[in-house]
Structure 1
Amino acid sequence: MSADIIEALKRNPVANILRQIEQNTRSEKTAVLYESRKERGANKVQVKIRALVYAITDIDNEKQEFTANLSVRARWKEPLLQGLTSKSDIDWDDQWNPRIELENAVSIRNFDKKYEISYFHTDLGDNIPHVCLTMNISATFKEMFELDEFPLDYQALNIWLISEWSYSELDLVKDDEYMDRLAVNTFTESKEWFLYPQLIGEPVGEEEEIDEVSGSTSQYPLYTITAQVKRIHQFYMWNHVLYMFMIFLVGLSTFSIPVADVGLRISGALLVLLCALIYRLYMRPMLPVIAYWTALDKYNMSIMLCHILILLEHSVVGGVANTGSMPSVTSVDLACLGGIVAVMVTIHCYFLAFMIQTLNKRDKFLQEEATNFEELNATIKKNHETRTNPRKRFYEPPPLTEPQPPLGHPGVPYSLNKYYISPNGQSSASPRPTPRPTYPPSPRLQRDISFTRNTMQRSSDRGAQPILRASSPLRAAGYDHMNPVEKTHEAKITVPTSVMQAVQSRSRSHSRSRGRSRSRIGNNRVAAESSYASD
């Protein structure tokens, strides 16, 4: 002890000592004063949170704690840094930061922070950069477990993030472009717990926030990162419930002792009761220490009450039998045995129904949470692809308000091939097939088309029409072979019979002329080969 402290003790044992300790522990650095965004000339900002949980270990039922290693990334738009591209030009100690802390951390082993600036997330026509704050965390967190349904329970392992700024400064929201991730293969508590792959991150609204969290009139943004685990209840069913039931069955064996031998009956019932108590004390370290009863505690207490009923029955019925005032003691003893068995059967039926209902409710809830998580990830993945794909990001096709021309029409641009318009003019979500490239008709086909149209205009015959072949010149001219009506917007012209006969005869003549020309070419080729062989 220094001489200054001894002298202070002599003068004033309390005030001077406290003043001396304050001077010795005072830091030379001045206190850090944080400037709000309003003081810096900026508006309220949205801070987007993304979480990556690498490992969850040491889930303690007694202390109600768990350990987690995770990385949290906070991202926000910062107009104060607009125009800066080099990280070396920025002093992050002088810049605004969201001041995010861990609300329910018991002990923190690592809490590293790293700042980055990025223009990748800027919107179209917006040159405002984004600041990314990455926090690597390794800590032990406190969580109030809900153990009313133990060992059929499930737990939400929450990590609470809180900002030291109020709601007037910022909002903590979920990042809608990047998915939260949870590493399941590094889970070390798989013997007792089953870890679900979903990691739920969501902000706590102002109306949902607990008053005790802030401790003042101002409310502060909260964000929860939740991992869900369910307890593997088979261990407790086989090693606790089954053993307690077997001990009770041993207690029923004391009814085989004659009713007159009261001392032997009572000693046997006491021995079985002590065995049940000893086994419960042996299993006590594996059970949570809480101030209320769990489902397993209620089952154990019902078993103990049945043991006490057996002991009371032996005492009362045996005492009455020794006095000789009850002639049918054996019948009364059997009736008591039947009543105790009925009570035990009722207890186990209730417990079995409770177990089935609780397990179904638990699995249904967790399955719904997994489905919601998958749907959310699908939406986030779509947003991320839209952000990273320049074609999807900067070009959006106009909506279709009017029916488009049919497939193959020269007025259909290839940029609209992914839309499908049904014959009744309604658009469909399924993409339309890409049309084949169309080529101009040959000169012979053009002559056929002009001949057909000129003949139709001169003819006045209107008769029944046969089905046209797909290779018919009329089909190429724009007619449907299943409905011989020209698809024009001026008039509907029916194809006459005489025109059909003329077209078919002209097609047969063309086929014969093509066959004769091919035969002449073949004959010339054979003659040339024979002359070459003779030479």
Structure 2
Amino acid sequence: MRSAIRSDSYTESVKQEIHESTATSKPSNRRLKANGDVQQRSSYYLSGNSLPSSTRSSVCGSTLMTSLPNHPDFQKRRQIEKTNSKQLDPSPLTVKPPREVSVRVKFIRLGEVITLEEKFYAEVVIEARWLYDPEAASWNPNLYVKNALGDVKQEVARELVDNLDEPVYIDSKNDDIIYVWEVRKVVGTFWEKLELNSFPVDVQQLSLQIVTRCSVEECVLVENSFQPSMVNREAFLAQQEWFLYEQIEARSTITMEDFSFRPIRQSTYIVTCCVARRPGYFYWNVYLLIFLITLIALTVYSVAPEYPQNRLQITCTLLLTSIMFRWSVSRLLPPVSYLTLLDKYTLISLVFISVNSIWHSIIGFLMRHMHISKAVDYYVLGVSTMFFLIYHCIMVFSLYQALRRRQVILESDRKYATKLAGLFETFAQGHHAVQHFKDRQNSSHASLFV
């Protein structure tokens, strides 16, 4: 009985489900509304399409005429759209000007300037100062040195100060302007592109590129006009090879940071100090030796031209000596794509010796087969001597022109010392600073040029 009841109920339920699936269900209100919208749109398009061809062409023509810029209805519509857009646009937001961060750099210690690898060692202190904002107390420009090589050591300290660099506490009542003073000590090796056109009497600029991680719309790096940058000449570790100037050049520029998903324009502060190479070592160990080797090439003419083998033996020995000397000097410089003053002098000397050796082989052949007079050899000796004197005069003039730049930098160095003396509190301190600079300049003048 129970099984029969179950079967009857099951068949009834199946019949009921079949009846419900076959029966048309009434759509919901939301579906009815959507279908109504679709019917309205379809009827709209149908009505448009059901228009006669003449009527549709007149409507399209009027629409095209009103879309022309010269049509008066078009101008009216543009005016209405402008007024509506002005009414709908919100009030413009007030844009805050970028923060000004004054920067000062002190070169505490300069180490060796490695010409071959184009880098130098330095210990610097970067002082940054900006106005304190209580609403953004944790704001920081996030300064870093862009041309640093490898990992550099940094020590950062900050404090709140007033106009007189006195410490200020937030809890205390103080009506003065409060600044955030950040002192950053950076120690490491920095890259610098060296200009070696006038080597070995070149003047190099050692620069630091200080960059903020904020965009230029948020932060701008400027020079500290009250406390200029300075360099400690007493702690210069390469004084035997270089001469360090007192002058410091600083400028602000804008660079683009491309190594990010959204490149930003960043404010960059470049501080540069100048060093001049002391050329005395190269005068005595390079120029003098090459001069003597080239001069000996002229003494070969004392050997009779009937023995060209003896002449060629001497000139080839001088040529090989000059080539080995040239390679030993080139290892002091990076593989640049231009010639320095020293390269030009050594190459001209090599060419001079090579031309003389070629002539020694020619004169031997001519005298043996054509019986040429020895007077021709004397004429060639005179021409070689004139060429030797002329190109040495040109090289001396080139060295003089390169050394004139040092004199110009010395004049600007004197002006910079006067500017620093004007920042002292008393006249006696400023006068003492200028006198100390003049004594140092006079004592180092000879070593700078020789």
1:50 paired residue number: 104
Q: Which runs of 4+ in 1 moved over 6 A?
A: 210-216
1:401 paired residue number: none
- Quote how far apart the aligned CAs of 1:141 are: 0.4
Once residues 123 and 355 of structure 2 are traced to their aligned partners in structure 1, the CA distance between those partners, rounded to angstroms, is 52
Once residues 175 and 362 of structure 1 are traced to their aligned partners in structure 2, the CA distance between those partners, rounded to angstroms, is 27
The answer on whether the counterparts of 1:115 and 1:132 sit within 8 Å (CA) in structure 2 is yes
2:159 paired residue number: 116
2:348 paired residue number: 302
Ranges in structure 2 where 5+ consecutive residues have no aligned partner: 1-92, 166-173, 427-450
Q: Give a deviation string over 1:191-249, Cα, whole Å, max 9, x none.
A: 1110112233x23234xx57879997532111112111001112111110110010112
Once residues 106 and 334 of structure 1 are traced to their aligned partners in structure 2, the CA distance between those partners, rounded to angstroms, is 60
Structure 1 residues 351 and 126, CA gap change in structure 2 (3 angstroms)? farther
**Aligned residue identity for 1:350:** I
1:359 paired residue number: 403
**Aligned residue identity for 1:292:** Y
Once residues 214 and 199 of structure 1 are traced to their aligned partners in structure 2, the CA distance between those partners, rounded to angstroms, is 33
Ranges in structure 1 where 5+ consecutive residues have no aligned partner: 1-38, 83-93, 384-535
Once residues 113 and 50 of structure 1 are traced to their aligned partners in structure 2, the CA distance between those partners, rounded to angstroms, is 15
1:327 paired residue number: 372
Q: Give a deviation string over 1:476-535, Cα, whole Å, max 9, x none.
A: xxxxxxxxxxxxxxxxxxxxxxxxxxxxxxxxxxxxxxxxxxxxxxxxxxxxxxxxxxxx
**Residue number among 178, 195, 201 corresponding to 2:244 in the alignment:** 195
| Residues paired across the two proteins, number | 326
Note if 1:267 corresponds to 2:267: no
Helix, strand or coil: the match of 2:406?
helix
The answer on whether the counterparts of 1:52 and 1:181 sit within 8 Å (CA) in structure 2 is yes
**Aligned residue identity for 2:221:** L
The answer on whether the counterparts of 1:195 and 1:228 sit within 8 Å (CA) in structure 2 is yes
2:289 paired residue number: 243
**Residue number among 205, 229, 240 corresponding to 2:253 in the alignment:** 205
Residue identity (%): 24
- Quote how far apart the aligned CAs of 1:374 are: 2.8
**Residue number among 160, 172, 197 corresponding to 2:221 in the alignment:** 172
Higher strand share: 2
2:385 paired residue number: 341
- Quote how far apart the aligned CAs of 1:352 are: 0.8
Once residues 129 and 42 of structure 1 are traced to their aligned partners in structure 2, the CA distance between those partners, rounded to angstroms, is 19
State the superposition RMSD in angstroms: 2.7
Note if 1:67 corresponds to 2:116: no
Structure 1 residues 51 and 221, CA gap change in structure 2 (3 angstroms)? same
TM-score (norm 2): 0.67
**Aligned residue identity for 1:240:** V
Once residues 160 and 216 of structure 1 are traced to their aligned partners in structure 2, the CA distance between those partners, rounded to angstroms, is 22
Once residues 247 and 260 of structure 1 are traced to their aligned partners in structure 2, the CA distance between those partners, rounded to angstroms, is 24
The answer on whether the counterparts of 1:172 and 1:203 sit within 8 Å (CA) in structure 2 is no
- Quote how far apart the aligned CAs of 1:121 are: 4.6
Structure 1 residues 211 and 362, CA gap change in structure 2 (3 angstroms)? farther
1:393-472 map, 5 Å: none
**Residue number among 225, 234, 241 corresponding to 1:185 in the alignment:** 234
Once residues 113 and 356 of structure 1 are traced to their aligned partners in structure 2, the CA distance between those partners, rounded to angstroms, is 46
Once residues 131 and 211 of structure 1 are traced to their aligned partners in structure 2, the CA distance between those partners, rounded to angstroms, is 26
1:130 paired residue number: 179
Helix, strand or coil: the match of 1:109?
strand
1:224 paired residue number: 270
1:278 paired residue number: 324
Helix, strand or coil: the match of 1:221?
strand
2:362 paired residue number: 316
Once residues 57 and 77 of structure 1 are traced to their aligned partners in structure 2, the CA distance between those partners, rounded to angstroms, is 35
Once residues 212 and 56 of structure 1 are traced to their aligned partners in structure 2, the CA distance between those partners, rounded to angstroms, is 31
Once residues 366 and 198 of structure 2 are traced to their aligned partners in structure 1, the CA distance between those partners, rounded to angstroms, is 43
Once residues 135 and 264 of structure 2 are traced to their aligned partners in structure 1, the CA distance between those partners, rounded to angstroms, is 29
The answer on whether the counterparts of 2:198 and 2:340 sit within 8 Å (CA) in structure 1 is yes
Q: Which has the higher contact order (CA 8 A, sep 6+)?
A: 2
